[in-house]
Structure 1
Amino acid sequence: MLSVQNLSKSFGGVQATRDVSIDFPDGSLTAIIGPNGAGKTTFFNLISGAIRPDAGKVVFAGQDIVGRSSLEVVRLGMARAFQVAALFPSLTVKDAVTAAVTSHQRKSWTLLQRFPLEGTQHRTDEILELLGLSSKANTLSRNLSHGDQKLLDIGLALAMDPKVLLLDEPTAGMGPDERWRMIGKVQHLWEVKKMTVLFIEHDMDIVFKIAQAIHVLKYGAVLAQGTADEIRRNQDVIDAYLGTDHHLAHAAGQE
């Protein structure tokens, strides 16, 4: 289980995260939502080791990981895909994933060999198949569509063999069809790998469709948490984020 306890972080006079406590059960699929400036990305930065909190604990793999480097956190089993994909633009899709798998297996010396080790190749092929990128294995990463670049970024995170996967706005910048294709891949990945997945998302139709639990942040604090139905009906969330129009549209659809 990943457990965040009384987490707080300030930047100058701005408190970005305020006494946040959330438990994420093993194998859960959880959405983190909230208006712009709510502290969602800061929250991911704190739990992944990118920045250190001023107070609080992040308990993962049975230990408080506050103060651990991002690399140490990855080694423990937490990986992250970013809002802006972090790729190897000059490598093919297959070579990029192979490099990430090789690095995680601590066999970087094999990158100088003409052919990767059998176990490395099998893991690479498994990731490409899982994400639907096998047909684009020989395409340069920079030539992929926006959606496929995001999938590749998730693939690079999967190469770390994570128990917990953080997805920062996986559908950002996509059109409606591409968004649903992406989120279908995320849901399939979660179902197949049975890992704990946390994702930040602004599209409420997506959130309400797939999230088991939803945590709403506002000004860095937890405003509400619950199931899709509970969040959809929460007046504080409607006022702060969803808006009356979204609530009424849902109510009309239930009639």
Structure 2
Amino acid sequence: MTTILETRFLERTFGAVYAARDINITINEGEILGVIGSNGAGKTTFVNMVTGYLEPSSGEILYRGKNIVGKPTRDITQMGICRSFQIPQLFPELAVIDNIMTALILSRQQGISLFKSAVSCELKQQARDLLARFKIDAYADQEISTLPQGVRKLIDIAMATVADPDLLFLDEPTSGVSADEKMDFMQTLIDALKSSRTAVLFIEHDMEIIETFSPRCVAFYEGTILADGSTNDVLKEPKVREFVIGSEFHRETSMQQGGQASC
């Protein structure tokens, strides 16, 4: 496997408080990685440091072997590391396809003032192709403000992929999506991203989503990495069960597996 990102002893302090300490993570090309942990465990701090929104207090962030600590967010994005946010970053007054075309234009480093002159049949087709990849092309001409949260999130993530990033960070992609739609939402998302070699790291609180869609899992606790490995092994770790997911979840999972085995 080709390593695209490696962090070494990454730390971030706020005064005497450690928001992240000794974060050592390696991410490989095309890998899907789930991140779990309670609020304040250091998950978003880690993502913010890698994407340039927060400078580490110490440590290294190596992207394809080069240290990117201190580089501006825009430069990191252009290098191939992108992200989406828990709250979609969209233009609510514009139609869906206009949001996608705006992202395409900006990814080519063209000014937003050139939007009208930059629009072409080719650009529109690229936007429609991207929407079809995420199965939201039926919404192309609708205004963002009229759409449900799940569709908005897919649009936001689609916009984050316009430059075909090597690595994509997703901050709680299923947050705000109804419980009965989460699994279909994630399946659509994973299918769309698997069509490229983009590695995906997603932060998630729903353990069923983690079990189903992330072969590898990293558990954060109080700014440190509690466990890193196959999802099945991580969720069985006693410390992860105690401090992150709770023993009740483990009992329910065991009962479900036992019930399936006895059928």
Q: What does residue 112 of structure 1 align with?
A: 116
1:212 correspondence with 2:215: yes
State how far apart, in whole Å, the 2-side matches of 1:227 and 1:62 are: 25
The residue identity in structure 2 corresponding to 1:24 is I
**Are 1:29 and 1:190, in contact at CA under 8 Å, matched by a contact in 2?**
no
Tell me the matched-pair count: 254
Q: What TM-score comes out, normalization by structure 1 length?
A: 0.95
Stretch of structure 1 that moved more, 34-43 or 56-65: 56-65
* Superposition deviation, residue 110 in structure 1: 4.4
1:126 correspondence with 2:129: yes
CA RMSD after TM alignment? 1.4
2:157 corresponds, among 154, 158, 180, to: 154
1:31 corresponds, among 27, 30, 34, to: 34
Q: Can you give the 5+ residue segments of structure 1 that lack an aligned partner in the other structure?
A: none
Q: What TM-score comes out, normalization by structure 2 length?
A: 0.93
Deviations, residues 172-216 of structure 1 (Å, cap 9, x unaligned):
022112211221122102321221000000000000111021000
Runs of 4+ with >6 A deviation: none
Q: Could you tell me the percent identity over the aligned residues?
A: 30
1:80 corresponds, among 60, 83, 96, to: 83
The residue identity in structure 2 corresponding to 1:239 is E
Stretch of structure 1 that moved more, 27-36 or 173-182: 173-182
State how far apart, in whole Å, the 1-side matches of 2:5 and 2:120 are: 33
* Superposition deviation, residue 159 in structure 1: 1.6
The residue identity in structure 1 corresponding to 2:116 is L
Stretch of structure 1 that moved more, 1-10 or 183-192: 183-192
**Are 1:211 and 1:228, in contact at CA under 8 Å, matched by a contact in 2?**
yes
Deviations, residues 132-191 of structure 1 (Å, cap 9, x unaligned):
121111111111111111111101101232111110000002211221122112210232
1:203 correspondence with 2:224: no
The residue identity in structure 2 corresponding to 1:179 is K
* Superposition deviation, residue 67 in structure 1: 0.5
* Superposition deviation, residue 13 in structure 1: 2.4
State how far apart, in whole Å, the 2-side matches of 1:125 and 1:63 are: 35
The residue identity in structure 2 corresponding to 1:111 is F
Q: Can you give the 5+ residue segments of structure 2 that lack an aligned partner in the other structure?
A: 259-263
1:222 correspondence with 2:231: no
